[in-house]
Amino acid sequence: MKFRSLSFRTRIMIPVLALLVGTMLAYIFGHSDGSKPRSSRPTDEGIASLRAAAERGDCSAAFKLAKANLYVTLNIDEAKRYFRIASACSPPNANAIAGLITVLRKPEEDAEVDMLVRTLKKIDPQYGAEAEREVELRRLERKR
């Protein structure tokens, strides 16, 4: 059977499958020295160095820690702490400001949220308007 006589779909699928099998084999046998593949999980030393960098004002480190605390460890207080550091950087990071708006939920934090929404609207008017709508909905739910 000649390759050209196969349907178009089959001619596409054969190289794709070959590439997939080759990638799997390379991954399985790629560590022939007996070492384990590197884990994507952060080490304690890596987290400690990120914390130290964030405390020194490293905006990128603070933003990474804020996201990790919000989405991985679910530690909202730590997320607030690091989002505050990241959102205070210059130039302002719209995503860090939006993250801080997300974690500030208490009525006593409303003044700070309003200020952050105004700042976000200056950076990105559309993103700021979306955040403002979300904050309004949150406050309406709070009143129920």
Q: How confident is the model at residue 73 (pLDDT cuts 50, 70, 90)?
A: confident
Least confidently predicted of 2-11, 65-74, 131-140: 2-11
User: Which pLDDT value is given to residue 78?
Assistant: 92
- Cα Dmax for the chain: 75
Per-residue pLDDT of 37-70, as tens digits, reads 555 566 777 888 889 998 898 899 999 999 988 8
How much is the pLDDT for 35? 59
Do residues 21 and 55 share a domain?
no
Domain count, the chain: 2
- pLDDT, averaged across the chain: 84
Pair (7, 61) in one structural domain: no
Model pLDDT for residues 21-42, shown as the tens digit of each residue: 878 777 776 655 555 555 556 6
- What is residue 47's predicted lDDT score, i.e. its pLDDT? 82
- Any idea what DSSP says for residue 105? -
What count of other Cβ atoms lies within 10 Å of the Cβ of residue 118? 11
Q: In the structure, what pLDDT confidence band is assigned to residue 113 with cuts at 50, 70 and 90?
A: very high
Band of pLDDT at residue 19, cut at 50, 70 and 90: confident
Task: Record the tokens describing residue 59, joined without a space.
Answer: 């905006």
Q: Are residues 117 and 79 in the same domain?
A: yes
Distance in angstroms (rounded) separating the CA atoms of residues 74 and 143: 25
Burial (CB count <10 Å: 0-12, 13-18, 19+), residue 93: buried
124 shares a domain with 75: yes
The answer to whether residues 59 and 108 belong to one domain is yes
pLDDT of residue 34: 55
Query: Does 67 lie in the same domain as 15?
Result: no
